[in-house]
A and B are shown apart, each in its own frame.
Chain A
Amino acid sequence: MTETQKILVLHVGLIALLFALNFILPAYHHGNLARVMVLATYAIGYNVMLGYTGLLSLGHAMFFAAGMYGMALSIRHLGFAPAPALLVGIASGAGLALVVGLLALRTAGVAFMIVTLMFAQTVYLTILLAGRWTRGDEGFVIQQHERVLWGIDLSDPSSRYLAALTLFAICLFATLNLIRRPLGRVFVAIRENEERARLLGYNVFRAKLFSVVISGTISAAAGASYGLLFGYAGATFATVQYSIFPLLWVLLGGTGTIIGPFLGALFMFYLIDLSSGVTNAYMLIAGVALVVLVMFAPQGIAGELRRRIWSWLP
C-alpha cells in the first residue's frame, strides 16, 4: 500500500467504525460518543492552529460560543429554521475569527496567548451582559420542535449520533485534505521555522490569518452543532475552561495529527466519566492520568503511534 492508501484506510476505517457503533452501542455510551464526536470536531479546529501552524490560542471558547449563540439566538429571537441558524452560527465564528486574527496576529508567542484570552473574556462578558437575549449563565433550552433539520428530529438519539458523525467526518477529511495542499504545507512551514517560510516568499501573516479563520470556523461549526444537537446554549461554553479543554484534548491525543483530537477528546471524556464514578476528587485522578501520559507519551497518543509504528500518520 502507498502512504496515501494507508492514510485513507485508517481515516475511512475510523469513520466506518463509528458508523457501525451507532447500531451496537448501549444507550449510555451511544450518547457519550455523539457528544465526544462534536467535541472532537472542536478539537480538530483547535489543532489546525496549534498542531499545524504552531499558534497557541487560549481563547477558543469564543469561537465555540460564537457558533453556539449565532445558531441559538437566531432560532430563539429570529425564528430561524435549524439549517439557516447553523449557517448563522458558522458565519459568526468565521467573522469573529477574522477580526480576532487581524488584531491578535500582530503579536506572537505569550502575547498572542494573552490577547486571545482577553478576546475570549470579552465575548464571555458580552454574553453575560446581553442577558436579556442570552439569559446569561442560566442559558436557554432549544425546544425539540425547533431542532428538526430537513425533517430529521435531532433530539432522537440515533439521528443525533449520525448528525454528529457527519459533522466530524466532514471536518476530519477537510483538514486531512487541507494539510496535504500547498496552503497546509505553508502552515507546517510556519510552525517549523517562520522566518525561513517568510524568506521563501510566503506571506506569513496572511497564511496565519487563514489558519485562524479555518480554525475558528470549524470550532464554531462544532459549537453550533453542539447547541442544536443537545438543545441548549449557555455561557459556560464561553468560559476559560472551554478554551483549555481543546488544548488538553489536542495535547493528549497528539498535536499535529488528524486523529489525535478525537483520541484526546475520547480519552479525557471517559477518564473524567470513570473517575467521577469512583470519587468526588475525579479531577485529581484525571490530573494524575494526564501527568502520567505527558511523562510517558509527550507527543500524545497519536504522536506516540506515529513515532513507534505508523511513521506515515498525518
Chain B
Amino acid sequence: MSVILSTHGLTRAFSGHVAVNAVDFTLNEGEIRALIGPNGAGKTTFVSMLIGRIAPSAGRIRFEDQDVTDLPAHLRVSRGMAYTFQITSVFGQLSVEENVALAARRRLGRDRVAVRAEVEHALARVGLTDHIGQTAQDLSYGHQRLLEIAMGLAQRPRLLILDEPTQGLAENEIAAFKTLIRSLVPDTTILLIEHNMSVVMELADRITVLNFGEILAEGTPVDIHANPLVQNAYLGSG
C-alpha cells in the first residue's frame, strides 16, 4: 500500500494557542480515513494546512512523494487535492450548474460539452439534478451541503478532504452519502472529518482521533471503539 499523503511535525499556533501540535500523520492511497475529535480539537485547522488554506507554523506536508508545504492552495488542487468546506462556501449568487461548472472547468477548460456532462454527472451522484437551474443561495442548507460535495466530485480529485459533509443532511441523504463515498474508493482517497458516529463506523477503514491538537489514537473502527482513552476524551461512556 503506498502512501498518498503524510505530515511531519505539523504545527499551527494562533497567537500562542497551539491548535495543532506536531502531528505526524500518514494516509494510504485508496483508503477512507475518518478524522474525529471533540469540538476545537484542531481538525479543521489540520486539514486546512493540508490543502493550503492556512500556513503551518512548523512541519512539512508531502503529497504523492513531493513536498507541497510551500505550494499555494491552487497548485495543490491542480495536483489532485480537493476540499469541501465545513461552513458551506458555495457561490451564492450563481446557479447550481455554474457552481459545479467552475469546479469542473479548471480541469476541462473550454470544452463546454465535457463540462456540461461532468456537471450533470456530479449533480446526479448527489441527487441534485432537479435543482440544476436554481440559484445556489436559494437551496436549503442540506442541499447546499450536497452542492459542496458535488463541487468536490467534479474536480475528480486524487484525494478528497470532506469537512463534516453530513452536517445538516436528512437520514436518507446520509444513507445515499455513504453509498456515494464507497463508490469513490479506491480511485479517490477520502479524508473525512465527521461527528456522526454511524457514518464513521460504517465508512472508515481507519480512524484518527485528534484531541487538543494531538493524535490521541489511530486504528480500525473496532480498535477505536474499544480504546479507553478515546472513550474518555470523546465518546463519553461509549
Contact = CB atoms under 8 A, between A and B. Distances in A.
A185 B102 CA distance: 8
Contacts, number: 57
Given A185-B101, A195-B53, A195-B89, A200 B106 contact: yes
A197 interface: yes
A68 B155 CA distance: 45
Nearest to A197: B102
B126 interface: no
B214 interface: no
Contacts of A193: 89-92
B102 A189 contact: yes
Nearest to B102: A189
A182 B105 CA distance: 7
Interface string B8-22: 000000000000000
Given A182-B110, A204-B74, A196 B105 contact: no
Contacts of A189: 91, 94, 102
Nearest to A201: B77
Given A182-B105, A185-B102, A201 B91 contact: no
B46 interface: no
Interface string A222-237: 0000000000000000
A197 B53 CA distance: 12
A200 B101 contact: no
A203 interface: yes
Contact of A192 (B85, B92, B107): B92
Listed residue (B74, B92, B93, B103) with the most chain A CB atoms within 10 angstroms of its CB: B74
B226 to A, nearest CB: 37
Contacts of A181: 110
A201 B101 contact: no
A198 interface: yes
B51 interface: yes
A43 interface: no
A311 to B, nearest CB: 10
Nearest to A188: B94
A201 B90 contact: no
A286 B77 CA distance: 49
A192 B91 contact: yes
Interface in A156-193: 181-182, 185-186, 188-189, 192-193
A186 B103 CA distance: 10
27 contacts: A182-B105, A182-B109, A185-B102, A185-B105, A189-B91, A189-B102, A192-B94, A193-B89, A193-B90, A193-B91, A193-B92, A196-B85, A198-B73, A199-B51, A199-B53, A199-B77, A199-B83, A200-B77, A200-B102, A200-B103, A200-B106, A200-B151, A201-B77, A201-B78, A201-B106, A202-B106, A203-B74
Interface of B: 51, 53, 72-74, 77-78, 82-83, 85, 89-94, 98, 101-103, 105-107, 109-110, 151, 155
Given A185-B105, A195-B53, A201-B155, 10 more contacts: A185-B98, A186-B102, A189-B94, A196-B89, A196-B90, A198-B74, A200-B102, A200-B106, A203-B74, A204-B74
Task: List 7 tightest A-B contacts by C-beta distance, closest first.
Answer: A201-B77, A192-B91, A201-B106, A201-B78, A196-B89, A201-B74, A203-B74
